[in-house]
Amino acid sequence: MDSVNSNIDEIHQWMRDMTAKIDKNNEDTLAIRIENMRSTIIDFASFVSDDSHPVTKEQFRRVFKTYKDYERIIAENGQTNGEVDIAIQIVRDAYEKHLCTHTFIEDTWNV
């Protein structure tokens, strides 16, 4: 019986260790995902701040979707949005400008 109890204790300890490792992995994965989203949004804002770069509506749609997912994820995890606020405003402004001037790649394709 002592052998069984010892094995159970070892299994429980192994499970606690594995749970801790999985939790750490999940935290690291979340941090990487959030940083990737931040970088995507900030990099695109930098890209569209130069009017000479050709862009498509799809590029903007993807960044807007990334931003929506980013906002959801940071809210779910009690984090705050700082640096991305300015970047997304730059993206929105650029989108509006391209929309008004019909300068998306697909707008000029058939000209």
- Written as one string, the DSSP assignment of the chain is -HHHHHHHHHHHHHHHHHHHHHHHHHHHHHHHHHHHHHHHHHHHHHHHTSTTS---HHHHHHHHHHHHHHHHHHHHTT----HHHHHHHHHHHHHHHHHHHT-SHHHHHT-
Provide the pLDDT for residue 110.
Answer: 61
Lowest mean pLDDT among 4-13, 17-26, 29-38, 51-60: 4-13
Output the pLDDT for position 26: 95
Average pLDDT, the chain: 92
What is the predicted pLDDT for the residue at 51?
A: 87
Q: Which structural domain range is residue 42 located in?
A: 2-109
pTM of the model: 0.82
Q: Is the pLDDT of residue 111 over 70?
A: no
- Total domains in the chain come to 1
